[in-house]
Structure 1
Amino acid sequence: MVQIQLNRLVEDLESYATYGQDERGGITRPSFSSEDLKVRIRFIKELQDLGLEVSIDGIANIWGKLRGNGKKKGSIVIGSHLDTVPNGGKYDGALGTLVAKEIIRTIIEKDLTLDHDLEIVSFTAEESNDFGLSTLGSRAFVGRLSEQELRKATDSKGLLLSEALQTVDGDIDRIPEMAAIRDDKKVFVELHIEQGKRLESNDRPVAIINSLVGVYRSKVTVIGEANHSGTTMMPHRSDALTAASEMILAVEHICAEDKTDLVGTVGKLEVQPNAINIVPGQVDFVLEIRGECQERMEKIVGKIEAEWTEIIALRSLQWKQSILQQQEPTKLDKEIVTILQGVANQMSIPYMTLPSMAVHDAAHMSLISKSAMIFVKSIDGKSHCPEEYSTPEDIEQASNVMLQGILAIDKLFD
């Protein structure tokens, strides 16, 4: 059975991790940064050295194509992303991209010829970024972001996205051209670390992912009255922060009562005027709900809003909210999931079938191609931090499931 070379892959991971190393022990390599540009240049050269046909589309996604024998039309696509969060780890994104490169390198070395073309992709700006457009490359590629939205996008310093794209060989004027190549992408498989503890808790190295959760986000404003903290007696206060605290605790207990994998978070808070001696007059926070069932998510949001209304009424305050995001759960392709499950069974590799609790590029690629994901166990469930880690043994098993899965997909699909 054909297998990847683990030592070579591990060396790749360590080497790529030197791009963006920061003083806090992690990796800071946001898209369009100087470190991102350096890693892109290296990645492109390595694809060219493998003999792949390399291209960069309008949104600056990097594509490398290994030609098949022409018996079957369309491409099987594998890959992920190379950008990181601030002070992130070496596995999120980069592992999936480098495993894809190792799979292609193995296929070339073993002199295997596929019936389909096999493509590798590194998507632009998968992580949250200063332009406010996470999963930018995949969303733009499948047409989920309009050219008008992309032209208007600016970062916190006023830099236009169109200008940033030029620094990495993208071109906003070529955005419409991407529609012409979407139909060629027949299958997409993405490997990623789990970023949670479900695999570790069940002592499984690998998961086959059959869906990705939906995400609901709203910006909530609690309006009270700012006043002197010394002269305003407790019964006379209209404290927006204490009300917001109750509202946040309501999110916690309502979501904790749910028996599914639904989760709720308030991770961003802005207090005004944010002074030691002033009763807070206004609080803004962002509510996020993630779940694999849209109906269940809507029910939970309704329960939260009802309890918030009671809290605000008892305190004689006001509140309002605006919806930031309503992304429904994504079902991945049953046929591809079944093939990957079958391969894992044949290889006697223990696995789980799970939904992804994070949104990945596969969620968007599923709009145009048969898509699935493979997860690798994350030690202690850590991610988006320097402590992020997956063992070489687990990586090897997941990579070989993916390699054999690609070979099986090539045979089974016309």
Structure 2
Amino acid sequence: MKTNLNRIKKDIEELSKFNATPGQGLTRFSLTEEDRGARNYIKNELLKLGLEVYEDPAGSIFGRKKGSDDDLPVIMIGSHFDSVKNGGNFDGPAGVIMALEVMRVLTENNVKTKYPIEFVGMIEEEGGRFGSGVFGSRAMAGSVSIEELNNNKDNEGISMAEAFKEFGFNPDDINNAKRNPEDIKAFIELHIEQGPVLENREKDLGIVDFIVGLYNLKVTIKGRPDHAGTTPMNMRADALVAASKIISHIPNYAIEAGKGTVATVGALSVKPGAANIVPGEAQFTIDIRSKNKSCIEEVKNKVIELIQKETDASGLDVIIEEMLDVKPVKMSEEIIKSFEKNADSKGFSYIKMLSGAGHDAMVMAGITDVGLIFVPSKDGRSHCPEEWTDYEDLQKGIEVVYNTILDLGEVL
């Protein structure tokens, strides 16, 4: 193999050190000191290769290797380096290390390509700090505004705009992160599967041909906090009771939509949050996913109708915020064929599969040709400290991407 297994292992382990919760899984939120540590490590490794290293106004890191015709559109490879709270070391970083290792192998073997190649490492894909995910790719697609940066806040009330400014970026420049689709030939991402299919079927790789659509809402119901012992039941404006009635119907809406549609309420907060106070506010998220856009619309419309019905009946105020709306996307057939050819040449087994998780690739598919390759997850675990992918399995995915880059980049 051209790639270096020990180097891949070292990179994963080094990145895992930039962690706010040692011993309790990986927590690396965007625009934090942990982000800065990982960012500096990545930039230093890119600079060692003599690449042109820069950051865009959305906080994404780039390392550009020039092509023989550097005016041609770039081939972009990478993923994200932020994490969920108490997650694992591979979700995101596996794809970042893929891109770093590919750039190393291209450089140390003095490979010349007609097309320029760019490493990219993105932040806030998970939405772990500010609640609106796939941020770096959305910024490149021109789908992020200064209004979003001002409105999206973390649990401490710090807006994304404030965090960017404190970190050293100018939030007013966010529109300059937008890339011209004509300037990008392709985007390729490697990711851990985050499910059990590859391991159970004893396959080395998953070649993704479709990514589900993803729709996220944040719902805030506002009632009135009152004494739990002295306020009669018929005189309460209990925000949590209304929220619970809504939440209980959501799984059935997904089942009724069918075609593999799923819907999840993954976060719920109650204020003031005391045992002896009637809840005055309840805020929750709704995550809807399907490979069929009409199914997403069906569930969304039913949910919004129910929210309005329940809050109107209870005399409560409600705020409904759309956090994310990404359509189902098909991967590039040309890149899929290149993945298959290179996996066959290496003797790696693979299957074509659907991605039920959202990735930066699904956003980038709106502006360029996209390829996404999965490597196995131990016991299908992800978003938890137990998340694991064998380094040998990761290396196989990196080898296939490397050879696909040789195909797309047109080696001289």
Corresponding residue for residue 189 of structure 1: 188
Fraction of identical pairs, as percent:
35
Aligned partner of 1:322: which letter? I
Change beyond 3 A, Cα 1:275–1:164: closer
- Higher mean displacement: 254-263 or 383-392: 254-263
Corresponding residue for residue 213 of structure 1: 212
Q: Does 1:42 align with 2:41?
A: yes
- Higher mean displacement: 98-107 or 248-257: 248-257
Q: In the TM superposition, what is the alpha-carbon distance from 1:216 to its structure 2 partner?
A: 2.5
Deviations 1:167-224 (A, max 9, x none): 5553335444444665322110011112222323333232112232222233456789
Deviations 1:6-49 (A, max 9, x none): 12111111122112262443222212111211221221111111
Change beyond 3 A, Cα 1:398–1:240: same
**TM-score, structure 2 length as denominator?**
0.84
Q: Distance in 1 between matches of 2:279 and 2:131?
A: 28
Q: Distance in 2 between matches of 1:154 and 1:221?
A: 14
* Conserved 8 A contact 1:56-1:170: no
Change beyond 3 A, Cα 1:251–1:406: same
Corresponding residue for residue 359 of structure 1: 358
Corresponding residue for residue 262 of structure 1: 261
* Conserved 8 A contact 1:210-1:353: yes
* Conserved 8 A contact 1:223-1:317: no
How many pairs were matched up?
A: 410
Describe the SS at the equivalent of 1:80: strand
Corresponding residue for residue 144 of structure 2: 145
* Conserved 8 A contact 1:125-1:137: yes
Describe the SS at the equivalent of 1:32: coil
Corresponding residue for residue 327 of structure 1: 326
* Conserved 8 A contact 1:28-1:87: yes
Corresponding residue for residue 296 of structure 2: 297
Q: Distance in 1 between matches of 2:142 and 2:220?
A: 32
Aligned partner of 2:117: which letter? L
Change beyond 3 A, Cα 1:352–1:4: same
Corresponding residue for residue 403 of structure 2: 404
Q: Distance in 1 between matches of 2:176 and 2:236?
A: 59
Change beyond 3 A, Cα 1:318–1:338: farther
Equivalent positions of 1:370-385 (< 5 A) are: 370-385=369-384
Q: Distance in 2 between matches of 1:129 and 1:97?
A: 18
Equivalent positions of 1:48-63 (< 5 A) are: 48-63=47-62
Q: In the TM superposition, what is the alpha-carbon distance from 1:149 to its structure 2 partner?
A: 3.6
Change beyond 3 A, Cα 1:14–1:257: same
Q: Distance in 2 between matches of 1:64 and 1:175?
A: 19
Deviations 1:306-340 (A, max 9, x none): 88899x69xx7578672524332233323222322
5+ long unaligned stretches in structure 1: none
Describe the SS at the equivalent of 2:265: strand
Change beyond 3 A, Cα 1:201–1:168: same
Corresponding residue for residue 93 of structure 2: 94
| RMSD of aligned residue pairs (Cα, Å) | 3.6
Q: Distance in 1 between matches of 2:180 and 2:236?
A: 61
Q: In the TM superposition, what is the alpha-carbon distance from 1:299 to its structure 2 partner?
A: 2.9
Equivalent positions of 1:275-354 (< 5 A) are: 275-276=274-275, 283-301=282-300, 317=314, 322-325=320-323, 326-354=325-353
Describe the SS at the equivalent of 2:125: coil
Deviations 1:63-119 (A, max 9, x none): 111122228822111011222222221111111111111111112222321121111
Q: Distance in 2 between matches of 1:61 and 1:340?
A: 26
Equivalent positions of 1:114-133 (< 5 A) are: 114-133=113-132
* Conserved 8 A contact 2:116-2:409: no
Q: Distance in 1 between matches of 2:384 and 2:113?
A: 38
Q: Distance in 1 between matches of 2:145 and 2:242?
A: 39
* Conserved 8 A contact 2:76-2:184: yes
Equivalent positions of 1:239-254 (< 5 A) are: 244-245=243-244, 247-254=246-253
Aligned partner of 1:291: which letter? S
Deviations 1:313-371 (A, max 9, x none): 9xx75786725243322333232223223322333322222232222221222222211
Describe the SS at the equivalent of 1:183: helix
**TM-score, structure 1 length as denominator?**
0.84
- Higher mean displacement: 293-302 or 169-178: 169-178
Q: Distance in 2 between matches of 1:256 and 1:269?
A: 22
Corresponding residue for residue 17 of structure 2: 18
Q: Distance in 1 between matches of 2:308 and 2:43?
A: 54
Change beyond 3 A, Cα 1:153–1:111: same
Q: In the TM superposition, what is the alpha-carbon distance from 1:152 to its structure 2 partner?
A: 6.0
5+ long unaligned stretches in structure 2: none
Q: Distance in 2 between matches of 1:226 and 1:168?
A: 37
Aligned partner of 1:207: which letter? G
* Conserved 8 A contact 2:88-2:385: yes
Change beyond 3 A, Cα 1:283–1:396: same
Q: Does 1:64 align with 2:56?
A: no
